[in-house]
């Protein structure tokens, strides 16, 4: 569990670092809120330890935050946030699934791609 949780936290932190560098332009408020959402998520995931349900709840809430933020945006920023909402919303950690590690890698790739889109849209 710790390896999976830590891997996902790394995805969140890498997205956060990309966004922190990219915040600018007239979209700054929405981009700042996206950074704050990722920061809060990283803290919750770090505190979840072996609590899979807490981890999944935090991930679902982050997806909802991205969806709400996409409603405040337009253009590339809206598309990027909607993509992040879809990526984070589709991920549920299930330790009984023998393919959990593979799913985490796939999710990490999707999350990283959507985070890069967001960073680009915020620049």
CA distance 54 to 46: 11
Tell me: the pLDDT tens digits for 57-93? 888 999 999 999 999 998 988 998 998 898 889 888 8
Which carries the bigger pLDDT value, residue 98 or residue 8? 98
Q: Please tell me the distance from the alpha carbon of residue 84 to that of residue 61, in angstroms, as a whole number.
A: 12
Domain containing residue 63: 2-122
pTM over 0.85: no
Sequence-ordered alpha helix ranges (H) in 49-98: 52-70, 75-89
Mean local confidence (pLDDT), 12-19:
53
Q: d(Cα 62, Cα 57) in Å, to the nearest integer? A: 9
Beta-carbon contacts of 72 under 8 Å, excluding residues fewer than 6 positions away, are 29, 30, 33
Our count of domains for the chain comes to: 1
């Amino acid at each position: 569990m710790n390896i999976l949780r830590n891997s996902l936290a790394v995805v969140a932190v890498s997205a956060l670092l990309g966004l922190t560098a990219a915040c600018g332009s007239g979209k700054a408020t929405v981009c700042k809120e996206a950074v704050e959402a990722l920061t809060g998520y990283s803290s919750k995931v770090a505190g979840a330890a072996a609590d899979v349900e807490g981890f999944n709840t935090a991930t679902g809430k982050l997806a909802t935050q991205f969806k709400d933020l996409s409603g405040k945006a337009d253009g590339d920023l809206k598309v990027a946030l909607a993509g992040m909402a879809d990526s984070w919303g589709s991920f549920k950690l299930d330790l009984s699934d023998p393919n959990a590690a593979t799913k985490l890698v796939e999710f990490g790739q999707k999350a990283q791609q959507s985070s890069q889109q967001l960073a680009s849209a915020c620049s």
